[in-house]
Amino acid sequence: MVFRRKLAIGFLLFSFLQIGSCSRPNEAPLYQIRLNDWEGNPHSFSEYRGQVLVLDFWASWCEPCKKAVPVVEALRKDLAGKNAQVFGINTENDLTVPEIKKAAKDFGMDYPSFLDPEWKLVQLLKIEGQPALFVFSASGKRLHSQYGISEKDLPVLQGRIRNWLEAP
């Protein structure tokens, strides 16, 4: 009888600790990453839980990245007012923020960009090249990834993202 009572108390304590825990047991790994914006403010991708996320990985030295930006900009405009966010992810660790901002401006990038100089997100997603486009569901599940983005990809990407936005 004493053993059963101790076992029940232990189970209740364990359950309470699980419920009160800060991390969610089945939380998407994406939501555990924090990156800074250009002003140095930290952002966690968990802030965007419930929205489709489109992430464009880029670098200033990457000529194909420059060609990808207009496509990502078109996606951003298409998704305006919808349950989605588009972000650039700059992966450089050898440039200053003003240099990165200048490159983004030269590329024609109007969407916000986060800095990943330590490659936290790059390593998590096992990014193998740039430009890389990753799309995540409202629950943080990877839906799509591709390397190299061209204008011919736009209609297919727009259609897929619209479907993912409408999916339950």
131-150 per-position pLDDT tens digit:
999 999 998 999 999 999 88
The H-or-E segment that residue 85 falls in is: strand 84-90
Cα angle, residue 124 at apex, residues 44 and 43 outer, rounded to 5°: 10
Most distant CA atoms of the chain, gap in Å: 74
- In this predicted structure, what is the pLDDT of residue 77? 93
Q: What pLDDT, in 10s, does the model give residues 21-70?
A: 344 556 788 888 999 999 999 999 999 999 999 999 999 999 999 999 99
User: What is the rounded average pLDDT of the residues 79-98?
Assistant: 93
- In this predicted structure, what is the pLDDT of residue 29? 87
List of domains in the chain: 29-166 (3.40.30.10)
Total Cβ atoms within 10 A of residue 40:
8
Alpha-carbon distance of 74 to 76, in angstroms, equals 5
Q: Which of 7-21, 49-63, 110-124, 144-158 has the lowest mean pLDDT?
A: 7-21
Confidence grade of residue 86 (pLDDT, cut at 50, 70, 90): very high
Look up residue 82 and give its DSSP letter.
S
Q: What pLDDT, in 10s, does the model give residues 92-102?
A: 999 999 999 99
* Mean pLDDT over each residue of the chain, to the nearest integer: 84
H-type alpha helices, the chain: 2-20, 63-79, 97-107, 120-125, 154-166
